[in-house]
Amino acid sequence: MKSSRTLGALVLSPSQSTDNCDFTQPAIRGRLLELAEGLQIYALSSRAVSKITLDSLDTDALCQWKQRMYDVQISQRYELTTYVSLEMIAKYAPYRTVRIIYSELLRLLFWGNPLRGMRGDTKDRNQYLEPAFKRMVSALIERDFTTSSAALEELLVFELRIIEKQLKKLGILKRIPS
């Protein structure tokens, strides 16, 4: 988002967001580190938390999750799977504490928007993301929540490694502990 006195706030595309982000600002660098740390927490906990959440869903909530995945598939923006899944867990986890923590993790993930413009070709990324996405969705449809949760974890680890490389390239991150 970019502020303009005459136009108000403008929503920027990922590449415009990258071009308009001053990665040298300490506050932005700090938020990007928090993003990486939050994504690591999400990746480490996602398999168990998504399984518990999926097991607890009623038919309507599960249909909503499947619909959101269908929307991701139609857009062919498989990188959004991590956001959608985090949003659904934050909304439907059976434990209030998990909903609070995952809601905060979702807010942290949005700090990564300027990095999305640095990711290069969507087609190349989708070569890896699409098969894991399809495993996740197929397992959701079959109500195989163990496989679906494992596929989500795989997508998150991939996302974490991309963020890690981008932050290293910007000189923001030395190393995220594995």
| Domain assignment present for 1 | no
31-83 pLDDT, tens digit per residue, is 888 888 999 999 999 999 999 999 999 999 999 999 999 999 999 888 899 99
**Three-state secondary-structure class, residue 24:** coil
- Note the residue count of the chain: 178
Distance separating alpha carbons of residues 71 and 58, to the nearest angstrom:
20
Q: What is the CATH number of the domain that holds 94?
A: 1.20.120.530
Number of domains the chain is built from: 1
Going along the chain, which residue ranges are E strands? 2-4, 8-10
Residue 147, C-beta contacts closer than 8 angstroms, at least 6 positions apart: 135, 136, 139
| Domain assignment present for 46 | yes
Identify the residue with better confidence: 91 or 172. 91
| Domain assignment present for 77 | yes
Two tokens, residue 34: 């928090």
95-152 pLDDT, tens digit per residue, is 999 999 999 999 988 887 777 766 666 677 778 889 999 999 999 999 999 999 999 9
| Domain assignment present for 59 | yes
Range of the domain at 124: 29-168
